[in-house]
Homo-oligomer: A and B are copies of this chain.
């Protein structure tokens, strides 16, 4: 009973949350989501996450009859009910109930679910993570859609490689990991792809923090740049700033998190330790 959900105006314990089987997100994959969290008991960059949620809806053509403030209020209410200091929020918006199995409704279905923030072992940050690469481009990269079939089908290959995630590339250019963005240091130059990606909120914060001490380029990044990079890391709501030390079995630099990445992680930790809504 720790976690709660909001479904189209009704609040209940999360494990009691159900949706009718003619939801078009279930039947036809016509749905999007967003995912944010708290630090120090306070929402982190909530406005930006909710703005992205609305933008995904606009791009996918799903009505968005809510204000950001209304959604924020609902999230705060759910947060209070949990009694947990720091939690994550999963917001899901589907095209509503379909009467014929394929036509979306004019009334979308909105779900807000509270969840535990996934635990990440501290050594992931001190030793870095291993990933694999895969040639793939998401259909609507700027939309946080619910289509994660590629990742789910790759999960055994990822595990067999001793890795924890996958970095997508297409036609020789990097895009993003399955649920996080990619950054490379070439010396003191920080580069990150700027197209065919979902623009992460943590990516945005990282760029802002990095500009204080490094040169930052948002531009197309070639796959081959991976192998020349001084340091590689990924950014995401859960992973924060996570060093990558092995890719497709190849050790990156010396297999240890680089000093610039660790500097950014420190800046990010400072930033989140005093976060305001």
Chain A stretch 100-123: residues in CB contact (< 8 A) with chain B: 100-104, 111, 113, 115, 118
Question: Which of A22-30, A196-204, A228-236 is the interface stretch?
Answer: A22-30
Interface string of A79-94 (1 = CB under 8 A from B): 0000000000010101
By the criterion CB–CB under 8 Å, are A146 and B21 in contact?
A: no
> What total of chain A residues lie within 8 Å of the partner, measured CB to CB?
49
Tell me if A213 counts as interface (CB < 8 A to partner B): no
Tell me if A221 counts as interface (CB < 8 A to partner B): no
Contact of A28 among B19, B139, B148, B156 (CB under 8 A): B148
By the criterion CB–CB under 8 Å, are A21 and B21 in contact?
A: no
Copies of this protein in the assembly total 2
Assembly CA distance A149 to B113 (angstroms)? 23
Closest Cβ–Cβ distance, residue A188 to chain B (whole Å): 35
Closest to A16 in B: B20
Of A21, A100, A152, A179, the most chain B CB neighbours within 10 A belong to: A21
Chain B hits for A14, CB < 8 A: 21-22
Chain B hits for A115, CB < 8 A: 101
Assembly CA distance A33 to B147 (angstroms)? 15
Chain A stretch 145-201: residues in CB contact (< 8 A) with chain B: 145-153, 155-156, 179
By the criterion CB–CB under 8 Å, are B92 and A149 in contact?
A: no
Tell me if A219 counts as interface (CB < 8 A to partner B): no
Known A-B contacts A20-B17, A101-B115, A155-B103; A147 and B148 likewise in contact (beta carbons under 8 Å): no
Tell me if A216 counts as interface (CB < 8 A to partner B): no
By the criterion CB–CB under 8 Å, are A18 and B15 in contact?
A: no
